[in-house]
Structure formats: structure tokens, C-alpha cells
Amino acid sequence: MSNELYAVVGHPISHSKSPRIHSVFASQTGEPVEYTAIQAPLDGFAETVHRFFRKGGKGLNVTVPFKEQAWQLADQRADRAEKAGAANTLYLNDQGLLVADNTDGQGLVQDLSVNHGVQLKNARILILGAGGAVRGVLGPLLAQEPASLTIANRTEAKANALAALFADEAGTTQLSACGFDEPDQPFDVVINGTSASLQGDLPPLNAGIISADTVVYDMMYSLQTTTFNQWALDNGAVRVVDGLGMLVEQAAESFRIWRGVRPETIPVIEMLRND
Ligand code: ATR
């Protein structure tokens, strides 16, 4: 059987690990998948997507800065993508309609709960940031039924807006919003979803949010300990995790949507960690 074509679209795209991850998934599962990277012009995302599918492409991952455009472009959206306001996975359904999904939240939950054995049900969770990355994961986090989910952000109004948007998905979870300096008691799980540490800055947080039992998760990843995780370690954290597992898990969920087979993720996470 000849290979079927998949790709990741972004700008820039040369650093993307997705082609490597999906190539390993393909050889591991024996699926006839060829996966490339496409750099779309900043003003040419929609045209790039349409051209890809016109030429017979089967599925796309979408990354920065096009996730919101991917969401808007779709004819249909998976339920979990609807409130996320952004999509990282596109494909054509049986009727030829463009469907958008968002697997980022599932990737985070899978990495935390399965790969790292973190109990999310009834946990007290603090998530930092209120941009696209956080919006993308709030639905799947709330679905785990934590005791509380606190959204803290530099611009408090954006945290408030997100809490209001997801209020009807909160169920028994106490969902709230605040500025960075407000939380001062230990949480079970602290997740960094800001892009602050990319710029070398750290949010002005109280060290009291960390205890030796807190699991600290940075949605960013890097070869060294991330700036945020280092701050947590310096303030008493024992368990810190970066977002490499989330990256591989969101990819595996896209692969499952496209091919109906869920690849093994742990060997791929280990492979990338040892690169
Ligand atoms: P992304 O898609 O990565 O979420 P975004 O939508 O631009 O990108 O959101 C970036 C997030 O990081 C926001 O929560 C932003 O805070 P504001 O809403 O106050 O802008 C946060 N952020 C970025 N730089 C930061 C910094 N230096 N300190 C604290 N928070 C920062």
C-alpha cells in the first residue's frame, strides 16, 4: 500500500519534533503514514490547508501561530475543541467536511495521570496563565473532576473570563480566578501554562503554593530543567515534570484519530529525552 500523507503546519516549523514522533509511531504500528512539516506563510494558512487536502493529504497537525485559525476554518469541531477556541488536529470526514479537534488537553491529562500516576480527581490544581495554551486544556482538566481548579494570570481579567467561559463544565469542581500573588497555600498540582519562562521571566508567585507533595508541571519542555521547574525545586518541590510527555501524548491522540490505532508513547518520550 502506498503511504498516506500527513503533516504539521506552523510558522516557523523547522524545530518541530512532530515529523520524528509520527515517523516512529508509523513504524511502530506498521501504519502507511508519511509525515512532513509545512511552513505556511503568515497570511496563507487557509490556502495551505486547502491545497494540502486537495492534493489528497489525510490529516494535519497545526501549531503556533495558526491554532485559532484552524479552529475557525473547520466545518465541524469535536466537542472538546469547541470551547478550546483552538485546534491542533484537522482531517476530512466521510462527507469531505473539514473537522477540527484539539488533543492538547488529553495529552496533558494522559501524561499527568497515566505516565506520572498523578491523581487528578479531587486534587487541588493551580494553573498559571490564561492564554490559548491554558484555554486548550481546561475542559479535559475539569473532566477529571478535581476538587478545585484555580486559574492565576498576570492579567486577572483574562483569568476571570476563562473561569466564566468554563463555569458550566465545572460540575462539583470549585473553579476560580485570581492574580499571581494571591494563592499562598500548597496545591496538589501546579501547572505552568504561561509563556513567561520562555522570555526568562518568572511569574511573581508565593513560594507557599509549593510543598514537598506538590506535583509541578511545566507545559514547556527543554533539555535542561525549565526555568519554572527550577524555581519550584528551589522552593521545596520534589516532583517536577516538563511538557515533553504532553507533546508526545497529544501526537499519539492525533494519530489515533486519523488511523484508529493508539501508538506506544513511553518509548518515544524516552527516545526524545535521550536526544
Ligand atoms: P499561549 O498560546 O502560549 O497561551 P498567549 O495566548 O499569548 O500564548 O498567552 C500567553 C500567556 O502567558 C498569558 O497568560 C500571559 O499573561 P497575560 O495574559 O497577562 O499577557 C502569560 N505571560 C506571557 N509573558 C509573561 C510574563 N513575562 N509574566 C507573566 N505572564 C506572562
Question: Tens digits of per-residue pLDDT, 116-135?
Answer: 999 999 999 999 999 999 99
Hey, what's the cell of 258? 486519523
Ligand 1 centre and the CA of 196: distance in Å? Answer: 6
User: Residue 175's closest CA among 184, 188, 165, 185?
Assistant: 165
pLDDT at 202: 85
pLDDT at 203: 85
Each domain of the chain, given as residue ranges in start order, spans: 4-102+246-273, 105-242
Q: What is the ipTM of this complex?
A: 0.98
pLDDT at 201: 80
Rg over alpha carbons for the chain, rounded to the nearest Å, is 19
* Segments of the chain scoring below 70 in pLDDT: 198
Give domain 4-102+246-273's CATH architecture: 3-Layer(aba) Sandwich (3.40)
121 is catalytic: no
- Asked if 4-102+246-273 and 105-242 have one fold, the answer is yes
pLDDT at 200: 74
pTM (predicted TM-score): 0.96
> Does ligand 1 lie within 6 Å of residue 131's CB atom?
yes
Helix residue ranges per DSSP H, the chain: 18-29, 45-54, 67-73, 79-82, 104-110, 132-142, 156-165, 227-234, 244-259, 266-273
Atom 27 of ligand 1, nearest CA residue: 196
Residue 217 and residue 191 in contact, taking contact as beta carbons nearer than 8 Å: yes
> Does ligand 1 lie within 6 Å of residue 153's CB atom?
yes
Q: Supply the CATH classification number for the domain 105-242.
A: 3.40.50.720
Task: Tell me how far apart the alpha carbons of residues 214 and 245 are, in angstroms, rounded to a whole number.
Answer: 18
Hey, what's the cell of 114? 497515566
Residues 6+ apart with CB under 8 A from 116: 215, 239, 241, 245
Half-sphere exposure of 270 (CA within 13 A, CB side): 5
> Does ligand 1 lie within 6 Å of residue 203's CB atom?
yes
